[in-house]
Amino acid sequence: MNYTVLRVWGIPIRLNISLFVFLPILAWLIGSGEQLSVYATFINGVSPTAVDAAALEDSDRWLIGAAAAVGLFVSVTLHELGHAWAAMRYDIEVQSITLWILGGLASLARMPEEWSQEFWIAVAGPITSLLVGVGCLGALYVIPESATVVVFAIGLLAVMNIVLALFNMLPAFPMDGGRVLRALLARNRSYVSATRIAARAGIAFAIVFIFLGVVVAFSPILVLVALFIYVAATTESRTVVLGELLSGLSVADLLAESESVPADATVETVFDRLLRARRTDLAVVDETGAIVGAITASALRDVRPAAYDTTTVGELATRDLPRIDGETSAFDALYELRAGRTEVAFVERDGSPIGLVSTDDFTAVLDLRRDTVAF
């Protein structure tokens, strides 16, 4: 569940509910005495003003923890806005930015069409984080030494932003470094091949992170990051392959000449038609031949055998199926079916249904193109 909290450049900034649970935990982790001593070591390495964690009052510790936790996610927002700014420079719409337990996600309306576009969009986030980190370092030179809490908080944000930039540049797809790797690989090989290599690198890093998070130093956050990278890398690889296999096809291209069944036909006569058409669904037409619904095998299963010769298809037909324009790309149509959690939809032209498309149609086309298209 996400909540929109503000808009920047017209882009909704959303907070995932997981963030409301994680922020207090992060503030507690940062504000604990042992952690502050570790952070102080890093801060003193970059700050012109030395800070002493042991001298902080208890109230100061929790104030620093809360400020650093919120500041970190403000930094993540700026990081994602860096991606968004670069994407908009290439006329790519940014639909939203979502902050969640593992960071932020900028959702683009479409993927970059050229390797150079993906490269600059990917590096824009880490560059933004570096600039924020450098800005915080610069602030340390003007903040009074007596303002210990402020020095500590700003120094911590400087370190966090620099680490954020460097960590994101690891070539672990789909992190920024992994997308940079794919962009560079795509200069002289197919996009699918580049994605596969980058995804394998991401999976390798995920395995390493799991080992580090479980065996070397117990870190649930690192394990969560590893699982996210593994799932996202494999999903992205499959999505790109699907897009390549379905490229150049509209959903209307998937429609085959198949039988339809009149609304007044009985269930008894439909089974043979489904078997002959080798489908699990058929269009239902009225007396004028216009498509008015669909009959599916799952609907037929609910009919008792004794009622086969008295129940008509029109009584069982589904009439509120999703509608997809015939000119829609096959890939987008498949996405709509999955998003709607349905296996069949009307394909229409000029507002009138011209046929049915189902996941079985996509499976058949994918099987055919997988055997004939070389990547």
d(CA 209, CA 219): 10
Tokens of 162: 């620099």
Strand 344-349 vs strand 323-325: parallel, antiparallel, or unpaired? parallel
**Average pLDDT for the chain:** 80
* Tens-digit pLDDT profile for residues 206-217: 888 888 887 777
| pTM, two decimal places | 0.71
Among candidate residues 72, 184, 170, the one with its CA nearest the CA of residue 129: 72
Q: What's the confidence (pLDDT) of residue 160?
A: 85
d(CA 49, CA 141): 8
Domain boundaries defined on the chain: 2-245, 251-372
Top-level class of domain 251-372: alpha beta
Q: Which are the contacts of 10, defined by CB distance < 8 A and separation ≥ 6? A: none
Tell me which residues of the chain have a pLDDT lower than 70.
32-36, 52-59, 218, 256-259, 277-278, 340-341, 369-375
Q: What's the confidence (pLDDT) of residue 88?
A: 93
Count of CB atoms within 10 A of residue 259's CB?
13
Q: What's the confidence (pLDDT) of residue 87?
A: 92
* Tens-digit pLDDT profile for residues 24-77: 777 777 776 566 677 777 777 777 777 766 666 666 777 777 887 888 888 889
SS3 annotation, the chain: CEEEEEEECCEEEEEEHHHHHHHHHHHHHHHCHHHHHHHHHHHHHHCCCCCCHHHCCHHHHHHHHHHHHHHHHHHHHHHHHHHHHHHHHCCCCEEEEEEECCEEEEEECCCCCCHHHHHHHHHHHHHHHHHHHHHHHHHHCCCCCCCHHHHHHHHHHHHHHHHHHHHHCCCCCCCHHHHHHHHHHCCCCCHHHHHHHHHHHHHHHHHHHHHHHHHHCCCHHHHHHHHHHHHHHHHHHHHHHHHHHCCCCEHHHHCCCCCEEECCCEHHHHHHHHHHHCCCEEEEECCCCCEEEEEEHHHHCCCCHHHCCCCEHHHHCECCCCEEECCCEHHHHHHHHHHCCCCEEEEEECCEEEEEEEHHHHHHHHHHHHHHCCC
